[in-house]
Amino acid sequence: MEIIGVLVLLLDIYAIYNVVTSGESVVGKLLWSLGIIVFPVVGFIAWMLVGPKGGGRAVV
């Protein structure tokens, strides 16, 4: 069970790092970070599904 806790912690740290380094607004970064911290598993899954993506936006 301890391994699962460590895994969740590492994934949350990864998600928060990516949120902070993303191009989102400060409010967006704050909301995503709080969501990941308050709801570690659900917040991480939500971030993976609909969260801010890295600089992969196409410029037309």
- Dihedral, CA of residue 19, residue 24, residue 30 and residue 35, to nearest 10: -60
- Is residue 56 in a domain? no
Domain hosting residue 45, numbered range: 2-50
- Is residue 58 in a domain? no
- Residues with Cβ within 8 Å of residue 23, at least 6 apart in sequence: 52, 55
The mean of the pLDDT values for the chain is: 84
The number of domains in the chain is 1
Q: How far apart are CA 3 and CA 59, in angstroms?
A: 42
Please report the pLDDT score of residue 4 as a whole number. Answer: 92
| Sign of the CA dihedral running 1, 41, 44, 20 | negative
- Is residue 25 in a domain? yes
Q: What is the pTM of this model?
A: 0.77
Name the more confident of 51 and 37: 37
